[in-house]
Amino acid sequence: MSERESLNSQLEHLQLRHVGTGHADITKYEWLTNQHRDTLSSYIGHPTFLSMISITENESMGRVRYNLLQRMVNPCGPPPKVKDDMQLDD
């Protein structure tokens, strides 16, 4: 195995272990989704952030937590249809 390949496989391994780590070929969508998921999980993890959102939205903390978790599933909407766009461009 060449050095480059081994480096790649090592990187891949890291990517797998540490969800949310970026790489050279990351798309804007992937990056943004990761950012959003990180932010949302930080809001859920720090109880005071949760209270803050709950106060501003005037909803219960349980509801806010659920809303944020639900948003983590798909924080930036569906991924852009890369192939279709390219076909259109062609």
Partner 1 sequence: MYLYNLTLQRPTAVFQSISGNFSGTKVVEILLNHGRALELLRYDEDGKIESILYTEVFGIIRSIIPFRLTSGTKDYIIVGSDSGRVVILEYNPLKNQFDKVHQETFGRTGCRRIIPGQYLAVDPKGRAFMIGAIEKQKLVYILNRDSTAKLTISSPLEAHKAHTIVFSMCGVDVGFENPIFATISVDYSDDGDLDDVQEQHKKKMLTFYELDLGLNNVVRKWSDEVDYSANIVMTVPGGTEGPGGVLICSENYIAYKNQGHPEKRAQIPRRMGTDPDKGLMIISHSSHKQKGMFFFLVQSEVGDLYKITLDYQGEIVNQVVISYFDTIPVANCITVLKNGFLFAASEFGNHGLYFFKGLGDNEDTLIEAEGQQWFEERGELKHLELTSSIGSLVPVLDYKVLDLVQEENPQMYALCGTSKNSSLKVLRYGLPVNQMAETPLPGVPSGIWTLPKTNLSPDEQQSDKFIIVSFVGTTSVLRIGDNIEEDHDSGILETTTTLLIRPLGQDAILQVYSNGIRHIKADKRINEWRAPGRKSVLHATSNQTQVVLALSGGELIYFELDQAGNLSEVMKKDMRRDISCIEISPIPKGRILSRFLAVSDWEGPVRVLSLDRDNCLSQVSMFDTDKVQIESLSIVDMPIQEAGVDNTRQNAQQHRGAAATLNIPSTLFLFIGLKNGVLKRAIIDSLTGELSDVRTRFLGRKPVRFFRIKVKGNNALLALSSRVWLNYSYQGKLEMTPLSIEPLDNASSFSSDQCSEGVVATVQNNLKIFTLDKLGENFNQISVPLQCSPKRFIIHPQTNYMVVLESETNYNTEDLNLTELNRKLAADNGNSNNDDQDDMEFDEKTNNKKNKKIYKPKAGKGMWRSFIRIMDPVSYQTLDLIQLDDNEAAFNLTTCTFANDTDIYLAVSAGVDVELNPKKFTASTINLYKFTDNGTKLQLVYKTEIEDICYALTAFQNRLAAGVGKSLRLFEMGKKKLLRKCETKSIPCTIVNIHTMGDRLVVGDIQESIHFVKYKRSENMLYVFADDTVPRYITSSTILDYDTVAGCDKFGNVFVVRLPQNVSEEVEEDPTGSKLRFETGLLNGAPHKLEHIAQFYVGDMVNTITKASLTYGGPEVLLYTTLTGAIGALVPFTSREDVDFFSTLEMQLRAEHPPLCGRDHLAYRSYYFPVKNVIDGDLCEQYLSLDPIKQRAIAEELSRSPAEVLKKLEDLRSQKLL
User: Among residues 19, 24, 86, 88, which is the contact residue for partner 1, using CB under 8 A?
Assistant: 19
- Specify whether the CB–CB gap between 68 and 52 falls below 8 A: no
The region, left, alpha or beta by phi > 0 then psi within -120 to 50, assigned to residue 78 is: beta
**Token output for 58:** 């005037």
Interactions with partner 1, residue window 39-58 (CB under 8 A): 41-42, 44-49, 51-52, 54-58
| Interaction site with partner 1 (CB under 8 A) | 16, 18-20, 37-38, 41-42, 44-49, 51-52, 54-63, 66, 69, 72-74, 77-79, 81
